[in-house]
Amino acid sequence: MSTPRSISRVTRALAIVAAGACAQSAATSVAAVSSAPAPVSAVIDAGKTLTPINPNLYGMFIEHAGGLVYRGMWAELIDDRKFFNPIIAEDPAPTEGQRERRGPFGGPPRRWIPVGPAESIAMDVQHAYVGDHSPAIALRSDEPRGIRQAGLTLLRDQTYVGRIILAGDPGAQVSVSLVWGTGAADRQTLSIGKLTSDYARFPLTFKCPVDHDNGRIEITAIGPGTLRVGAVSLMPADNVQGWRHEVIDVLKSLRSGLYRWPGGNFVSAHDWRDAIGDPDQRPPIWDPVWRTLQSNDVGTDEFMTLCRLTEVEPYITVNSGFGDARSAAEYVEYANSPATTPWGAKRAGNGHPEPYRVKFWNIGNEMWGSYQYGYMPLAQYVVKHNLFAKAMRKVDPSIILIGSGAMPDTMTGSKESLNLGDKLISEYLGPADWTGALFLGCLDNMDMISEHYYNYDSHFDLASAKQAPNDPNEPLVDWMRRPANHIRIKYEAYQEYLKRIPALREKPVPIALDEYAYASRGSYKVVPAYAWNFHEMFRHSDIYQLATLTFITSTYHSARGQAVLNPTGILFKFYRDRFGTIPVDVSGNSPQPKPTDPPGGEQPVVHAGSDTFPLDVAAAWTTDRKTLTVAVINPTESQQTLSIEIRGAKLAGKGTLRRLAPPSLTATVVVGQAPGVKIEEKTLRAIPTKEEFAPFSVSIYEFPTK
């Protein structure tokens, strides 16, 4: 994702990287809808098949963006648990250079506050357990002194487990308390004694009898001398190897194919070697990209555990920003080499003797963006990519390498084209065609090309060469089409590359759409748009082989130890579970309307969609070819009718219809409330020939064969 540093430009001028939104006028769209033949008809020819759908199209993207991982997925309750920040009486306002991001990634980390006089606490540099310093508390025998942190969400009858690492004078008597109220009985206290000058680890176990939204942990001591606190951790006892159990459950149900990690822009200033080994002794880091504190508890081994628990493939991005080829090669060795190699031995020493055998490796993230840490001119980056690829393949020749690309639509929509040339609309194979340069100079050293798109509440207006707010009166069908148009425009660009680069015809390099997102992710409104996005990738399944949604946390809602799939998550699970894997040909009698805006920026030459306007239809066989599936999207606010003819298949004459059709676009699903979005199911005694589709509905038919 684009860095926070560039948000002022990249949110307004980049809209985060674009690739194909429809900017069609309201009047034209309304006229097109009203003039479409009635009824619209679709012919599904099950005998004409396309390249099988890769399950990795249902993938997810994870980035250390603010608190996304640590507050959205990881089970740790305590912020700044290794004391990156000094302990002071009051929280200071963050400086401009250290302003934590808020919004979907959570607020700033909670701070530790003194118990007793603030001047009794010093940040000891000489005896730091981890990082730059550790708190040293000057004790007295007549008053407890120490530190506390509030803001912990505690659940009734939940057991919490953890550890604390302490050093101090033998006479110090330490108390560690979990507190859930203001009364003297509203706490559980553990006593720790027999400290030494060497740091030692002590286990913690608490049980909370009530629900409380502002619990706190207190670490105090009385006695002579000094108490030093190295690190402290507290998690619900039902965590799954550090991950929140409820999150693991919902993510496993998605069967996402693969996860991309650790970035995103985060990766360009990140050293993976700092995030392995004992988590308590990994220094906390200040992330300059997202300008916030990261505890550094989730590194490669924890990510691999997440992939194993959710049964998905790992996909790792290496740092080609501030990083170098040797670091990337060592990363491949750590992940994939036997324990007899130097870095394989380090992995084994960290408790993982067997190689992880990571197949997918991304060289760099959005390296075309001048906001990216380690950005360099295109000609230099071509050389750098090849250095990385050769070093990584020398360690493991079997890995799949994915280059950091940006087709002309992205370079135009971000205006990065003007940093490399004098034309806003980037020319194919011109000075600002980042993907084209990689195809020309790095084709032997990559297997896929990474592409991104984002669309939120604005779009890139080619005429004014800037981000323009979306028209509030825009027809819903145009709003829904934007993600699919991003897919279409990159397909069109790929066809141009095939014409201009003969070597690409000899060695195809499919697209990895490994970052994308659309607006209104919390509500149902985005669901038909994402379904259309799927359909357009299915239509070009030979080119689109991988996709990872930004972010994985946008698929569920969690609160108070529970998690449920939100409408986006329900949609992804719906298609993964119910749509087939071998696409078949779909034709119709109602082509999509012609674009009114000129191509370039976010506008493809031809609108995305099947020839069934205003509906969109896709169909596919299941892997065993025993069932034909047909998906129909109605992206309008009115009921639509479709006549369906199926050819090239001997069907059993019955089937099942499942659909998402809530009464409102604002419907959602949150913990503790009746779901506003759910899959409706209906048994069909005959194959329908003419069907009516509810407004903004997504339907999938399953027709078994004879």
pLDDT at 173 over 90: yes
Report the C-alpha gap between 348 and 686 in whole angstroms.
59
Looking up tokens 């057991």 gives 159
Quick one: pLDDT at residue 217? 97
* Digit-coded pLDDT (tens) for 432-471: 999 999 999 999 999 999 999 998 878 888 888 888 888 8
d(CA 179, CA 30): 60
Per-residue pLDDT tens digits for 565-601: 999 999 999 999 999 999 999 999 999 999 988 888 8
The H or E element that residue 134 is part of is: strand 134-138
Pure H helices in 501-612: 502-506, 526-539, 567-578
pLDDT for 653: 86
Please state the φ and ψ torsions of residue 25, each to the nearest 5 degrees. -70, 150
Residue 35 pLDDT exceeds 60? no
Q: Which fold has domain 4-35+51-71+241-578?
A: TIM Barrel (3.20.20)
pLDDT at 524: 96
DSSP secondary structure code for residue 656 in this structure: E
Query: Which helix H or strand E contains 392, and what residues bound it?
Result: helix 378-395
Across all residues in the chain, what is the average pLDDT? Answer: 91
Q: How far apart are the C-alpha atoms of 592 and 680, rounded to whole Å? A: 28
- Look up residue 64 and give its two tokens: 């250390």
Q: Residue 636: what are its φ and ψ, rounded to 5°?
A: -115, 170
Instruction: Output the CA torsion sign for 74, 217, 293, 229.
Output: negative
Q: Which residue has the higher pLDDT, 601 or 42?
A: 42
What pLDDT, on the 0 to 100 scale, is given for residue 106? 60
Residue 19 has pLDDT above 70, yes or no: no
Homologous superfamily of domain range 81-236? Galactose-binding domain-like (2.60.120.260)
The domains of the chain are located at: 4-35+51-71+241-578, 81-236
Q: Is the pLDDT of residue 480 over 50?
A: yes
C-alpha 577, offset from chain centre: 21
d(CA 355, CA 335): 6
* Mean pLDDT of all residues in 382-407: 98
Q: Which of 536, 617, 637, 522 is nearest to 571 (CA)?
A: 522
What pLDDT score was predicted for residue 91?
56
The rounded distance, in Å, linking the Cα atoms of 286 and 291 is 7
Residues ≥6 apart with Cβ < 8 Å to 520: 526
> What digits encode the pLDDT tens for the residues 586-643?
999 999 999 988 888 888 999 999 999 999 999 999 999 999 999 999 999 999 999 9
- Kind and range of the H or E element at 300? helix 300-310
Among 7-16, 58-67, 346-355, which stretch is predicted with the lowest mean pLDDT? Answer: 7-16
Task: Write a three-state SS string for 434-501.
Answer: HHHHHHHHHHHHCCEEEEEEECCCEEEECCCCEEEECCCCCCHHHHHHHHHHHHHHHHHHHHHHHHHC
Under 8 Å between Cβ of 258 and 59: yes
Contact 700, 659 (CB under 8 A): yes
> Is it the case that residue 42 has pLDDT exceeding 50?
yes
Q: Do domains 4-35+51-71+241-578 and 81-236 have the same CATH topology?
A: no
Residue 104 pLDDT grade (very low, low, confident, very high; cuts 50, 70, 90): very low
**pLDDT score of 369:** 96
| CB-based burial, 477-510: b 16+ in 10 Å, e otherwise | bbbbbbbbbbbbbbbbbbeebeeebeebeeeebb
Asked if 452 and 402 touch (Cβ cutoff 8 Å), the reply is: no
The Cα 417–Cα 424 span in angstroms is 6
Task: Report the pLDDT value the prediction gives residue 8, as an integer from 0 to 100.
Answer: 33
Q: What is the mean pLDDT of residues 687-691?
A: 88
| pLDDT 10s digits, 529-551 | 999 999 999 999 999 999 999 99
Lookup: tokens for 578: 């119910």
pLDDT of 344 > 70? The answer is yes
* pLDDT surpassing 80 at residue 654: yes
Upstream peptide bond of 342 is cis (omega within 30 degrees of 0): no
Residues 218 and 78: beta-carbon distance below 8 Å: no
Q: Mean per-residue pLDDT for 218-224?
A: 96
16: pLDDT strictly greater than 70:
no
pLDDT tens string 237-276: 999 999 999 999 999 999 999 999 999 999 999 999 999 9
CA 462 to chain centre: 29
Query: What is the helix, strand, coil percentage profile of the chain, to 5?
Result: 25, 30, 45
Q: CB within 8 A of 327, min separation 6: which ones?
A: 271, 272, 273, 318, 319
Extended beta strands in 70-133, E state: 113-115, 121-124
Instruction: Work out the average pLDDT over 346-362.
Output: 97
Question: By percentage, how much of the chain surpasses pLDDT 70?
Answer: 92
278 exposure class (CB count in 10 Å sphere: 0-12, 13-18, 19+): exposed
- Phi first, then psi, for residue 702 (nearest 5°) are -125, 120
Query: Between the CA atoms of 574, 575, 581 and 586, what dihedral angle is there, to the nearest 10 degrees?
Result: 130
Please say if the pLDDT value at position 509 is more than 80: yes
Containing H/E element for 32?
helix 26-35
Q: Which two tokens stand for residue 125?
A: 């540099």
Name 1's Cβ contacts closer than 8 Å, sequence gap at least 6.
16, 63, 65, 263, 264, 265, 366, 454, 515, 550
Count of CB atoms situated within 10 Å of the CB of 306: 26
**Residue 140 pLDDT class (50, 70, 90 cuts):** very high
